Amino acid sequence: MNIERLLKDAAAAETREVTRESLPPLNLPARRRPAGRWTVPVAAVLTVIAVVVVTVTVRGTLRGPEPLGAHDGPAYFLATHREGGAGVFDSWTGRMVADIKPRAGHYAALAVAAGRRTAFLADETGPCSTRIDKVTIRRDGSVASRTTLPGEFGTRVDEMAATANGTRVALVFNNLTGCRGDDVAVVDASSGARRGWRLPPARADSPVQSPVWAADGRTLFFATDAPESPQGDDRGFELRALDTATTGTDLLHARTALGGTAYLTSFRPSPDGRAFRAVEEDTADDGTFRSAAIVELTPPAGGGSGKAPVRTIARMTARQIAPAAPVDFRTTLDATGGHLLVSSRRDRAVFRMDDDGRFRRLPDMHRTDLGLIAW
């Protein structure tokens, strides 16, 4: 027998027995306005606000600063400030993410590894005494740890350059102030082991400038004054390449990578080493800013001391930064050579230009008196 069919027939029979008269009347309760009709909505809104506040507070406590904005170029840069320390700043808004206070003295030079996780800061603790701090930086720009490399240097550090992975840092010293020591040193960031080089006495008053590592982490480029031509003409800079793995302590044994360049700063080699980017500064006689440009230089075929042609990639002018008219200003490129920062200390302003010509004034910098910058 089909059970399903029997159930259907029984249900149909019950339905036929239901009439209008057999249904009881439907009585709805009288509608009343509830007392305190806004109590529930207001309580709900307050609950949501409380949850949001607690969530943001707990999130900030557990995670630290919010991640920096997603934009082209490095997310942050380092800069010294009037208290002698250094800050980590968002490179799009200028917001300070972290403040790194010196253990003693003040920070006189900065370097950031291209990998964006390691920075080195030269802490000048006396007229001829410098120690090097190594700082590990999180992705959001906050400081994860800070250590001091073993030993100290009996001279002043002018500039620094870190390898891309942050395992070594090159130091350029200023021995023109009565201090004595090497002109260049390379320090291992883990052990503190170091090695130094000097310019020959005849060139000792020609300080080394603009150190930067090649992609191999072994070759160190640096700029120094080019020797005068037989006619006595000033040939500007020459860029040399020092193989830090070879023997010898004479810096002029380093080969010439670019000869007779203009007075440029912040050299950055391309990954293949076939071109260099640098900053070209144009100032008036009183030091007033006229323009700063990202330029590219290509070494002449076959190397040697031939003059390298200079091509302008992008230029930032005084009109763009008006009303600021910086006299005390700093310029630097990031590791790729594609992004330029100009810091005007007097006007408390920082300007950014990318190699596609995009220009921006960092909005949150007007209260901050910056000095050296590195990114």
CB contact at 8 A, 239 and 267: yes
Predicted confidence (pLDDT) at residue 269 exceeds the cutoff of 60: yes
Query: Dihedral of CA 111/112/114/115: which sign?
Result: positive
Comparing CA positions, the residue from 275, 316, 314 lying closest to residue 295 is: 314
Predicted confidence (pLDDT) at residue 185 exceeds the cutoff of 70: yes
Tokens of 92: 């799009």
Distance from C-alpha of 239 to C-alpha of 228, rounded to nearest angstrom: 15
CB contact at 8 A, 311 and 296: yes
Average pLDDT of the chain, as a whole number: 81
Burial class (CB in 10 A: 0-12, 13-18, 19+), 17: exposed
- Report the amino acid identity of residue 155: T
Q: Determine the average pLDDT of the residues in 149-166.
A: 93
All residues at 6 or more sequence positions from 374 whose CB lies less than 8 Å from its CB, including other chains: 77, 78, 79, 110, 111, 112, 119, 332
Compute and round to an integer the Cα radius of gyration of the chain: 33
273-321: per-residue pLDDT in tens?
889 999 999 998 888 899 999 999 988 776 555 677 889 999 999 999 8
Predicted confidence (pLDDT) at residue 136 exceeds the cutoff of 50: yes
75-117: per-residue pLDDT in tens?
999 999 877 899 999 999 999 999 999 988 899 999 999 988 9
Predicted confidence (pLDDT) at residue 14 exceeds the cutoff of 80: no
Burial 249-275 (b: 16+ CB within 10 A, else e): eebeebebbbbbbeebbbbbbeeeeeb
| Structural domains present in the chain | 72-374 (2.120.10.30)
pTM for this predicted structure: 0.78
211-256: per-residue pLDDT in tens?
999 999 999 999 988 776 566 566 678 899 999 999 889 888 899 8
